[in-house]
A and B are shown apart, each in its own frame.
Chain A
Amino acid sequence: MTSILGELEIIEKNFAERLSGAASSDELQQVKVAFLGKKGSLTSFLKKLGSLPTEERPAAGEAINSLRDAMEQRLASKKTQIEEAESAEEERKNRLDVTLPPRSRMWGGIHPVAQLTQDVVEILAGLGFSVALGPEIEDDFHNFEALNIPASHPARDMQDTFYFPDGKLLRTHTSPVQVRSMLRFGAPIRIVCPGKVYRRDSDPTHSPMFHQLEGLLVEKDISVADMKGCLEALMEALFGRSLKARYRASYFPFTEPSLELDIECVECSGKNPSCRICKGTGWLEVAGLGMVHPTVLRYGGIDPQVYNGFAWGVGLDRLAMLKYKLTDLRVLFEGNVPYLLSGRAL
């Protein structure tokens, strides 16, 4: 009996050695076969059991079985260990360089003016203004006459106009949409009209085509203070912070009184006397505005005794330049792909 136990101990010791030496599933299988296979050492040992004295057999059998159970258990746990290691190795081999570029296309490039127009329109929708659109090729009536700018009025000098041979013209401002909208919808009305406008201007700081946004509100008992409130709400939402505002009296034929709005310089807030954006004045001219002239209301079919309101115009290109800190207006209309892509985060 003692000798049997001694032999089992040797088998177990051998097994432990072989098992710890097994590094792959194949080697593990070999170990299994060597000890537990048909001709394995333990199996062979079991066959010897019959040669033992009867009274020793049960104890020897028990010892062998318990050793086999232990071996199987250790084989299984070793197997899991090896498989995990092998899988990890396989995954390491399939390692990808995650810094490679994506296969699909990158995000494109927004146009600052298009983006800004959308932002402004959304902000104003929140204040109850709906979008109205109008033609870019206009007639004299809507672009001038109905806006209280009769022929030969010196105010026509303010806007050098592109004409067509039939007398039609490229609108010089988005204001004609005011008149069209009043005639169509009547009062009360709150509209904004974004769009392209054209002036025959070859100055290097001006483009013959640019973008304006016209706002119009006609209701009852509207004051200059209401106009200030709307414009300041727009500027605050657009630039994401409250900006000081300054109003200067001005002149537009279609408003009376007429004003201009300056906002605090978004670059230096008036703190830099050599600021490139505000030229050291601390102020940026951003909008022309005023109470709608009674003549214009009448042209729009609205009774100025009952209703009044205000209108304003902002240069969207200029606002885009201020918001996105752009320095050149004309580059925006030159189809400059590298420039337009330069704003994208990569």
Chain B
Amino acid sequence: MLISWNMLNDIISIPASLEEVAERLTLTGCEVESIEYPCRQLKDVRIALIEKLEKHPEKDLLFVAAVNDGIGTAVVVTAAPNLSAGDRVPYGRPGAVLADGSVLGTRSFGSVESQGMLLSAEELGVPEAADEFGILRLSPDAPVGEDAKKWLGLDDAVLDLSITPNRGDLLSLLGVAREVYALFPGTEWKNDPAQTPAPAEPKEWPSEFRGITLEDDGCRKYCLGLATGLVPGVSPLRVRIALSFLGMRPISNMVDATNLAMLTLGQPTHAFDAGRLAAPEITVRPAVQGETIRTLDGKSHSLQDTDLLITSGGNPIGIAGVMGGENSEILPETRSVYIESASFDAIRVSRTSRRLGINSEAAFRYARTVDSALAEIALNYIANLLKEWGSAQSAYVIRSASSERKDQVTVSITGKMLQKILLTGDLDEASQILQRLGLKEIAAEEGKRTFNVPSWRPDITIEEDLLEEVGRIRGYNETMEPRLPQVLYGRGDIGSVTRLKGDIRRTLLSRGYVELVNYSFLSPSFVKLLRLPENDRRARPLELANPLSGEQSVMRTILLPGLLRSAEQTSLAGWKSPVMVFELGRVFLPLEEGGHEEIERIAGLVYGGRDPRLPYGPQEADDLFSLKGDILALAGSRHVSLQFVQGEEPFGHGGQTAGIEKDGRKVGYLLRLKPSIERDLDCAPLYAFELDLEPFEKDVLPSFRESSQFPPVYRDISLFVPSESPMEDVVRHMREEAGELLRNVRLFDIYVGKGVPEGHRSLAFSLAYQRDDKTLTDSEVDGVHACVRKKLEALGYILR
């Protein structure tokens, strides 16, 4: 919301500077985002009288003017075709500065030396205020010799206020003036626009007008003004300048008058060409489903029965509070207009404007509630302007219809609540603050005051609202010292999920991984990249109804694509070292029975990098087993044990994919990516893992076991194991056979090659036997060990 400092000072006298006002507004909830001086650089421009104007002696297209700027007479050359002797114009002598900062000087045009320049609206910094091509001509009452910057209001400052949605009343000069009045005791009203008197005109119906009918309670009040004998033209220059400062393009006297009324009072109005209405009557009714209207901007809209329409003779002439219809738009030849000033339901206007995508100034204000008391006042205001400007022969309010219930809102504030929330018991101070805001105290009891709320503050309905008003105007900074809540609490619980994430984060960071946070949305193309088959629920991500782009249109069902993208992008950007990344985040999976579930996951990805050379040799490079170590480390940090089984994933390498299980339930995968995906991404090798967090969530204490006092006895076994038989099976068989005595089995060698039968590998284990109650004798150990060997042989393993 743009506010003109000059206009504000026209209606109130403020005992404070612009900066003080801005600071106070910001602290009390109406943030001043900027203060602009649109013509800040303009300097030393005076109003001058053209005493004489002649053609340039040599140059056809130029004129030579003798001007008097109150200081003296000067000769100046101009190309403007719109001047004549006797005109008053802005003139800058050599040394004067234009709005764009350029400094005027003396310049020769043929034999004539031009001192400075006569100026156009553009050179003054207000191009939109021009009403004709050429130099800006001022009215005959412009005082010669006066500073043009001041006289035209070009010295104005414009405040850009950020208005919160609850304060529709601040979307006007009047509202801001009321606010400043409350903020600065000592402020006086000079010229309250809310007190605009009605013009002295007939109050009865014009004979031809049949009346206003309200058929929908979305319109509580509908006022109509009539202006006849319109004189087409522009509004006064100062108004045009002010409008352009406030972001509104000056259009015509009629339109400018309605815009000025809206900016000043906050009441949107709309002018219909009286001659173009289908019938001399107005009816406000709900739209018929499917009914259409073409609005001022030339667009057609199909309406619903919740939309509110202004009609005449049955034809729609406007969408209430949103935009007028093209069929009744005022035209250059329009000579009489009906001006609508009404009160429409905020929610109805808001719904319609949102659905139709029309963000008009009117709809914006109605959606934030317009004070219904303003309806007639705005018409008076416009009528007065039109008459003052000589833009209409006659202008007055002709009629209003209203179904308004005038329920006066009454709210009380108690000393108890003031004390509790704001730590002050001063009800008198609170009452003074509220009264300056326009509330009227109607009852004062012990510890309690009751107020009537003014019509422009529909946001105040409960005691907390009054507390907020008192609080914000007293200020929250100096009025109370910060303190901690009086009740002592123990330490809070960060919760198992946060603890778990912390443990995982620390573990993976120490193992060299980089933590990523990727967007939760993906491009649907990830399904194809990962070769997910249709029957895989990860291939059916939730789709956003209104995504920002196709790249971010579905919710991720798996963390892997984000990590892959990072590896791919990092490598494309020229990074050659290995990439190790992880992410903790949620995936969103559809459920068979409908709906979805959100699952917390941890995923990691390791890419060897473009340049695999390593100082200590290739055995240093990461592979499936180094990632397995990482997974076991993070499981270890939570005291959870996991099992790895040969597995399958659509995106996993056919021979290098593991399912990760906890207590027999699948909780994730560890794999090398399918070679064809590695080729798609031009990154190989790529290893990845992904796990649900839920199995790690419970905080588990480690369980310790006292070690035996008697030394263990070691025996080795080496055997040929078929390639497809898991090592863990061998270990399991050993343990089953040896029972309690076998305390530990350690693999110390894997060998494939010479001497090992085809399709086999040689595995060598060191077995530790131990008892808690005595030292094992060699013969005891040999006995058990022989059984183990025999068992393995019986199972078909070839012992060496």
**A contacts, CB < 8 Å to B:** 100-101, 103, 105-111, 113-114, 118, 121-122, 124-133, 135-137, 151-155, 157-158, 162-165, 170, 188, 190, 192, 196, 198, 200, 202, 208-209, 217, 219-226, 228-233, 245-251, 253, 256-259, 291, 293-294, 308, 332-338, 340-341
Contacts and interface: CB of A to CB of B under 8 A. Distances in A.
Interface stretch (B104-112, B194-202, B575-583, B746-754): B575-583
B165 A153 contact: yes
A217 B484 CA distance: 12
B573 interface: yes
Interface string B518-562: 111100000000000000000000111111100010010000001
B520 A114 contact: no
Given A111-B517, A163-B546, A340-B515, 9 more contacts: A114-B517, A125-B491, A128-B491, A136-B586, A225-B483, A251-B166, A335-B566, A336-B570, A337-B579
Nearest to A248: B27
B517 A113 contact: yes
A241 to B, nearest CB: 16
Given A101-B615, A257-B468, A228 B482 contact: yes
9 contacts: A133-B497, A137-B596, A163-B545, A196-B520, A232-B482, A249-B468, A334-B566, A335-B518, A337-B575
Contacts, number: 254
B290 interface: no
B565 interface: yes
B467 interface: yes
Contact of A109 (B31, B493, B514, B519): B514
B476 interface: yes
B133 interface: no
B471 A257 contact: yes
Nearest to A209: B519
A250 B511 contact: no
A165 B545 contact: yes
B519 A247 contact: no
Interface stretch (B6-14, B244-252, B416-424, B683-691): B416-424
Contacts of A230: 484-485
Contacts of B596: 137
B598 A137 contact: yes
Interface in B478-516: 480-495, 497-498, 501-502, 505, 508-516
Contacts of B367: 152, 154
A335 B346 CA distance: 45
B29 interface: yes
A157 B165 contact: yes
A328 B467 CA distance: 39
B464 A131 contact: no
Nearest to B352: A152
Given A105-B580, A223-B480, A335-B569, A100 B471 contact: no
B552 A133 contact: no
A101 B613 CA distance: 13
B514 A341 contact: yes
Contacts of B542: 137, 164
B493 A131 contact: yes
Contacts of A233: 484
A200 B495 CA distance: 30
* Interface pairs A-B: 5 shortest CB-CB: A335-B566, A128-B489, A105-B512, A249-B472, A249-B29
Interface of B: 26-29, 31, 164-168, 346-347, 350-351, 354, 367-368, 420-423, 462, 464-465, 467-468, 471-472, 475-477, 480-495, 497-498, 501-502, 505, 508-521, 542-548, 552, 555, 562-563, 565-566, 569-570, 573, 575, 579-581, 584-586, 588, 596, 598, 615-616, 620
Contacts of B421: 223-224, 257, 291, 308
A338 B464 contact: no
A340 B596 CA distance: 32
A230 B488 CA distance: 13
Given A308-B420, A337-B575, A338-B573, A225 B516 contact: no
A211 to B, nearest CB: 8
A114 B471 CA distance: 36
Contact of B512 (A107, A132, A232, A293): A107
A130 B495 contact: yes
Nearest to A192: B492
Contact of B492 (A129, A232, A246, A257): A129
B497 A335 contact: no
A127 B492 contact: yes
B476 A228 contact: yes
B579 A229 contact: no
B515 A114 contact: yes
B515 A108 contact: yes
B485 A217 contact: yes
Given A154-B165, A188-B487, A335-B563, A225 B465 contact: no
A257 B476 CA distance: 11
Contacts of B471: 224, 249, 257
Contacts of B565: 335
B350 to A, nearest CB: 5
A151 B462 CA distance: 21
Most chain A C-beta atoms within 10 Å of own C-beta, residue among B351, B481, B492, B518: B492
A202 B758 CA distance: 61
Nearest to A250: B29
B165 A219 contact: no
A114 B517 CA distance: 8
B371 to A, nearest CB: 16
B548 A200 contact: yes
